[in-house]
Amino acid sequence: MSGITKKNFKFFITAVVVLVLVGSGWGIWKGSFFSAQRADASVNPVTPNVPIAKYEMKNGVKVFHLTAEQVKQEVSKGVFVNAWGYNGSTPGPTIVVNEGDKIQVVVDNKLPGPTTVHWHGLIVPNNMDGVPGAEPSPVIEPGKSFTYEFTVKQVGTFMYHSHYQPSKDEMMGLDGMFISLPKNGDTVNGKPVNRDYSILLQEWQLQKPGSANGMDMSQFGEGQVPVGTYDVNPEGMSWNTFTLNGKQFPSTDPMEVKQGDKVLVRLANLSMQSHPMHLHGHNFKVVAKDGNPLPVSAQYMANTINIAPGETYDIEFTADNPGTWVFHCHLPHHTAGLNGKDGGMLTAFHYQGTPWPPAFTAKTNASDTTSNMNNTNQSSDTMQMSGSSSNTMNMPSK
Ligand SMILES: [Cu+2]
């Protein structure tokens, strides 16, 4: 008491008032800053280069349609593959549902042989599992149709693929992604994400038409298949073409992010080999495996994750390093392209408002159409950058 003069006390009060005012101003600014950055619970999952499957509601059931058929997939500019797929593309459209949904998937078989659909990782009734012979579930003969029906009780990243003669059907391209979102929106560890991207890894042995049967030796080095139209040798073990969502770089659509975004990436592998996917410029957190959220204590940081055949992983990172950053398989031959350029399993995250590197401006200048552009299931924003609704093909500004 004795040490505080009247003048000192006045100064002390003034200082407190100033601190309170500055503090609350900071709080308001900070609050608005964080609300501007707040994740959006209604974010829509995006599978770059692949449409999201449409559905109709019938008596409380979400009804999807998949047509298994021969497709002509353009894996990179001018390189066409006579593959098998669903609704005009391989992978087929990504099926997105909410936890608890009752769904039907009507599968029409327009392939030359029988097929089925297996719901990889999903717990479904035995007769809906798509494994004829070894399980009590039916074959879908050519020209016939079957309706799969089940309730999705799980949340996470799954896949679908034929389980009839898998060595042929899967390697011909009969696969796709299946995403089940939590009831309360798209979240990781209970917190909303801003972006939800999914990537399906595939590999192919392409051969000149008519030469596919019984010939295992690849006619081309890895990533060295020139412009043309090719058959797939599904039994071959000399893979020469490596795709993310059915595309080789630079035909892989880059994934748009904004600084501060929480970015969820779902990775799935239906090829014959493991692929160590490596992210530049960021570390990510591994948050789920095979559609099972990892407990927080088991989540871990990494910049490379090896994805074995049949596995799915969910990884999450914060977009805190503006620029364009590649994300690719780290087996060097799997990112090889013609003339020593990048190709294969390589894509990129691009921050809004940052310059586009030359590979992307070249992609935009050359129109890169795919045969599935005519597909009725194709979403209207196919040619747009992933996750973007405004900056379509005019995106790179030189
Ligand atoms: Cu690889």
Q: Please report where in the chains the tokens 């020139």 appear, as a residue.
A: 226
Ligand 1 center to 227 CA (angstroms): 22
The per-residue pLDDT for range 177-202, each reduced to its tens digit, is: 999 999 888 899 989 999 999 999 99
Q: DSSP 3-state helix, strand, coil percentages of the chain (rounded to 5)?
A: 15, 40, 45
Ligand 1 center to 242 CA (angstroms): 7
Ligand 1 center to 349 CA (angstroms): 19
Ligand 1 center to 344 CA (angstroms): 9
- Has residue 396 been placed in a domain? no
Average pLDDT over residues 23-31: 39
Ligand 1 center to 313 CA (angstroms): 15
- Is residue 258 within 8 Å of residue 351, measured between CB atoms? yes
Q: Is the pLDDT assigned to residue 384 strictly greater than 80?
A: no
The per-residue pLDDT for range 66-87, each reduced to its tens digit, is: 999 999 999 999 999 999 999 9
Ligand 1 center to 347 CA (angstroms): 13
pTM of this structure: 0.82
Ligand 1 center to 277 CA (angstroms): 8
Ligand 1 center to 274 CA (angstroms): 6
Instruction: Report how far residue 215's alpha carbon sits from residue 200's, in angstroms, rounded to the nearest whole number.
Output: 27
Ligand 1 center to 121 CA (angstroms): 22
Ligand 1 center to 208 CA (angstroms): 23
- Has residue 74 been placed in a domain? yes
Ligand 1 center to 380 CA (angstroms): 31
Ligand 1 center to 203 CA (angstroms): 8
Ligand 1 center to 142 CA (angstroms): 33
Give the structural domain span for 86: 55-188
Judge if 197 and 265 occupy the same domain.
yes
Average pLDDT over residues 88-99: 97
Ligand 1 center to 175 CA (angstroms): 18
Cβ-proximal residues to 344 (8 Å cutoff; 6+ apart), any chain = 222, 223, 241, 242, 243, 248, 249, 328, 329, 333, 334, 335, 336, 337
Ligand 1 center to 278 CA (angstroms): 10
Ligand 1 center to 245 CA (angstroms): 13
Which helix (DSSP H) or strand (DSSP E) does residue 8 occupy? helix 6-37
Judge if 343 and 224 occupy the same domain.
yes
Give me the percent of the chain exceeding a pLDDT of 90: 72
Q: Which residue has the higher pLDDT, 379 or 258?
A: 258
Ligand 1 center to 184 CA (angstroms): 35
Judge if 151 and 212 occupy the same domain.
no
Average pLDDT over residues 8-24: 50
Q: For the chain, how many structural domains are there in total?
A: 2
Judge if 219 and 282 occupy the same domain.
yes
Cβ-proximal residues to 146 (8 Å cutoff; 6+ apart), any chain = 106, 107, 109, 116, 138, 140
Ligand 1 center to 307 CA (angstroms): 9
Last residue of one domain, picked from the residues 159, 188, 217: 188
Judge if 206 and 68 occupy the same domain.
no
Last residue of one domain, picked from the residues 171, 188, 205: 188
- Is residue 317 within 8 Å of residue 281, measured between CB atoms? no
Question: What separation, in Å, do the N-terminal and C-terminal C-alpha atoms of the chain show?
Answer: 69
Mean pLDDT of the chain: 85
Ligand 1 center to 326 CA (angstroms): 14
- Has residue 264 been placed in a domain? yes
Extended beta strands in 213-366, E state:
228-232, 241-244, 255-257, 262-269, 275-279, 284-289, 292-293, 300-302, 304-307, 312-318, 324-329, 346-351
Q: C-alpha angle 367/347/356, rounded to 5°?
A: 65
Judge if 102 and 201 occupy the same domain.
no
Last residue of one domain, picked from the residues 124, 156, 188: 188
Ligand 1 center to 202 CA (angstroms): 9
- What does the pLDDT read at residue 184? 80
| DSSP state string for 196-239 | EEEEEEEEE-EE-TT--TT--S-SS-TT---SEEEEE-TT-S--
The per-residue pLDDT for range 273-288, each reduced to its tens digit, is: 999 999 999 999 999 9
Ligand 1 center to 167 CA (angstroms): 19
- Has residue 215 been placed in a domain? yes
For residue 214, what are its two tokens? 């019984």
Judge if 201 and 292 occupy the same domain.
yes
Q: What pLDDT band is residue 371 in, cutting at 50, 70 and 90?
A: very low
- Has residue 392 been placed in a domain? no
Ligand 1 center to 290 CA (angstroms): 19
The per-residue pLDDT for range 290-341, each reduced to its tens digit, is: 999 999 999 999 999 999 999 999 999 999 999 999 999 999 999 999 988 9
- Has residue 39 been placed in a domain? no
Q: Which residue has the higher pLDDT, 394 or 364?
A: 364
Cβ-proximal residues to 214 (8 Å cutoff; 6+ apart), any chain = none
- What does the pLDDT read at residue 17? 46
Instruction: Report how far residue 81's alpha carbon sits from residue 167's, in angstroms, rounded to the nearest whole number.
Output: 18
CATH number of the domain within which 268 lies: 2.60.40.420
Q: Does a cis peptide bond (omega within 30 degrees of 0) precede residue 234? A: no
Q: How many CB atoms lie within 10 A of CB 368?
A: 18
- Has residue 161 been placed in a domain? yes
For residue 193, what are its two tokens? 């994400």
Sign of the torsion formed by the C-alpha atoms of 52, 158, 121 and 271: positive
Judge if 313 and 164 occupy the same domain.
no
Instruction: Report how far residue 388's alpha carbon sits from residue 135's, in angstroms, rounded to the nearest whole number.
Output: 43
Ligand 1 center to 236 CA (angstroms): 17
Judge if 330 and 196 occupy the same domain.
yes
Q: Is the pLDDT assigned to residue 34 strictly greater than 70?
A: no
Judge if 218 and 127 occupy the same domain.
no
Judge if 346 and 240 occupy the same domain.
yes
Judge if 215 and 113 occupy the same domain.
no
- Has residue 251 been placed in a domain? yes
Ligand 1 center to 247 CA (angstroms): 14
Ligand 1 center to 268 CA (angstroms): 12
